[in-house]
Structure 1
């Protein structure tokens, strides 16, 4: 019975991670194919539609869910490895992820052979967070938990410094806290673009690591369900209370809109870059409740999602290149030339995109489904390969 319980715990983590990865592809397809992706914000309440708003908003759950579950998985690894072994692995894998993000993935985003832009995206911050956790893994559980709480619940105090008149963030400040599409010249024509800052995201991974204890044999399925439900509900209640107060936890306050529905959209329109406390409360709160529900579900859908979840990094790289490759094909089908894309890179980060060109949401969803279906056979093959080649050490880095 205990073996079965452990298997279900791991399955629920893989399923939720897989759902996050599938939803993430929707946002990236929108980036490359939607007609207003490069001319307007889908969360701009003055111009968006409910369908476009929720197409973007639902993908808010992807990054925090993945980072949090990465922390959970690290705790589960700590049951199989010594602290010294786990520390060394996290440091090496963290640095490897940073390297992959600034090379393979930066090129995948831009298709720019000159590497004019180096993107510090979600994989970079996961790598840095793993590196930091690798350094901290030998200190007490309580210290990691306290530091995670401080980073997650306290980082929005720095917003008040930013709100002061005349404040100008530095590169270090953007790396640690702000990172809202901040551009910094590195050398010549090469620029770093900071999307994901270290403090809030590493704090979230630390809390995920501490939550990993609930997925061990110390807790029964019923106990874990009660604990995760309570924490998830508490996070959502905290979201409601702090958003009602409208003072702390999100850089922008909500405001009354043209009708009640759009006012509701203003309330749930929380800040992702950097991830605000309100953003993390609503996303992780729902993620924890989802984990409870997914432990009770086993069907074809959950089996498929678990495959995406077990091959998440492999899937991440492939999906990015596939989406951008399809975008390139679409660029030439629409009669554009290479010279147009090269000229356009001066005002746009990515090759083969013309701002203002693209399709409506229906086409975006169709392309998304095509991408997901096309990647499934490869993910299934890779999942099987990993299962039958566990002795290959390099697989743990992919």
Structure 2
């Protein structure tokens, strides 16, 4: 089965966008104290800079499910091919979880004592692939129904009372809730991406896999249809303002009322957050499908090596933050380390335009590295571990 470049193009686009959010997190002056989506304190540029990056995680997770389906189909005619593919999904999921709690967490916190542990999107994808390796024997349509049910209904779990038993509380958070656990004075666990809500998105991506085997014209029609359908669901349910995310309200002017309407809950991913982000993703896939130009070729370079890009971009952004701290007159000893502290001292930071400049610099620096690694992977299929990145 031929590789679908559309998946790589859109994955590359959202990977580029993702680096903007992490650059803002670590370098933007108000990021230490201000929620960029708090309409009482934010500005429209800050809000929109944060909002556009909402597209990233759902797209990663959805396309991970789609790629898993396509991988299984490529091996469908081989002896023990699907069994081996499911085993690979399981191993890759475990590798992703291991990288999340080691290499990726160190990139963010740069704390050799690991006093902070944050479970983010790589944890959710890794755990989802492990589950999918067992469930992928079921028909894709059935898994899609399960995934849609999770997306629509998991918000009702907020109505349940909190667990008082610590072990049950932790287990529930790992599966369903975003929560911080102060395990001790020197160790904090942040479950940012609970497994099941994100797994619902992965299952829908898996169920959409057959669509990517259709002829181009049929595929593009379905991509546009699904995109408009998801965006339509978002507008209607959001307008009702009863379920699906935090309520919106009339604000001081029309612009901030619109921002309130668009201010959907990501932690965990609400129904409306998922509907609007996947709706935009489907439209992006529709626009990119069958297109071959300089822009799509550049985005494909990033999209073909997602894990390589993800790990390297964290280290480059963190190095940029350390450089900023030193340039602004602070010393390395001024950088606070400890539970949930990524090392930026109070007073250090840059404006939003500088954040954008640093972001573009990071993306440009990563291009030749990603191009080299992508070519190296293609030229050395015999090196098994390259398949993981």
Scaled by the length of structure 1, what TM-score is found? 0.92
Q: Which of residues 257, 279, 300 in structure 2 aligns to 1:263? A: 257
The 1:96–1:338 alpha-carbon spacing in structure 2 relative to 1, beyond 3 Å, is same
Alignment equivalent of 1:240, drawn from 220, 235, 238? 235
5+ long unaligned stretches in structure 1: none
Mapped to 2, the partners of 1:79 and 1:137 lie a distance apart of 11
Does the CA contact (< 8 Å) of 1:37 and 1:355 recur in 2? Answer: no
How much has 1:46 moved relative to structure 2?
1.4
CA distance in 2, matches of 1:64, 1:171: 24
Matched, 1:207 2:201: no
Which residue in the other structure is 1:345 paired with? 337
Q: Partner of 2:322 in structure 1? A: 328
State the shift of 1:142 in Å: 3.5
Mapped contact 1:32–1:323 kept (Cα < 8 A): yes
Report the 3-state secondary structure (helix = DSSP H, G, I; strand = E; otherwise coil) of the residue aligned with 2:32: coil
Superposed CA offset, 1:354-377 (max 9, x none): 244311111001100110111111
Matched, 1:63 2:54: no
The answer as to whether partners of 2:324 and 2:349 remain within 8 angstroms in 1 is no
In 2, are the aligned partners of 1:75 and 1:209 still within 8 Å (CA)?
yes
Check conservation: 2:13, 2:299, Cα contact below 8 A.
yes
* Contact persistence 1:83–1:138 (CA under 8 A): no
Task: Verify: 1:392 aligned to 2:383, yes or no.
Answer: yes
Give 2:268's match in structure 1, choosing from 270, 274, 277: 274
TM superposition shift of 1:333: 2.2
CA deviation after TM superposition for structure 1 residue 335, in Å: 2.3
Q: Kindly tell me the number of residue pairs found equivalent between the two proteins.
A: 383
Mapped to 2, the partners of 1:396 and 1:311 lie a distance apart of 10
Which residue in 2 is equivalent to 1:190? 187
Partners of 2:156 and 2:96 lie apart in 1 by: 29
User: Which deviates more from structure 2 when the two are superposed, residues 138-147 or residues 282-291?
Assistant: 138-147
Q: CA RMSD in A?
A: 2.0
Q: Which moved more, 1:77-86 or 1:127-136?
A: 77-86
Q: How many angstroms apart in 1 are the aligned matches of 2:26 and 2:141?
A: 43
Question: Structure 2: 5+ residue runs without aligned partners?
Answer: 76-80
Corresponding residue number in structure 2 for 1:378 = 369
Q: Distance in 1 between matches of 2:187 and 2:259?
A: 38
Q: Could you tell me which residue of structure 1 aligns to residue 17 of structure 2? A: 23
**Quick check: 1:50 aligned with 2:44?**
yes
Residue pairs, 1:1-398, within 5 angstroms:
6=2, 10-81=4-75, 82-161=81-160, 170-180=169-179, 182-185=180-183, 189-216=186-213, 219-250=214-245, 252-341=246-335, 344-346=336-338, 348-351=340-343, 353-398=344-389
Residues 172-220 of structure 1: CA deviation (Å, up to 9, x unaligned):
121111114x2241x773332111011110110111011010011xx22
Deviation digits for residues 264-295 of structure 1 (CA, Å, limit 9, x no counterpart): 10010111111111001000011111111101
- Conserved 8 A contact 1:149-1:203: yes
SS in 2 for 1:193: strand
Deviations 1:37-57 (A, max 9, x none): 111011111121111111110
2:78 is matched with none
Tell me by how many angstroms 1:296 deviates. Answer: 4.1
- Distance (whole Å) between structure 2 residues aligned to residue 373 and residue 93 of structure 1: 28
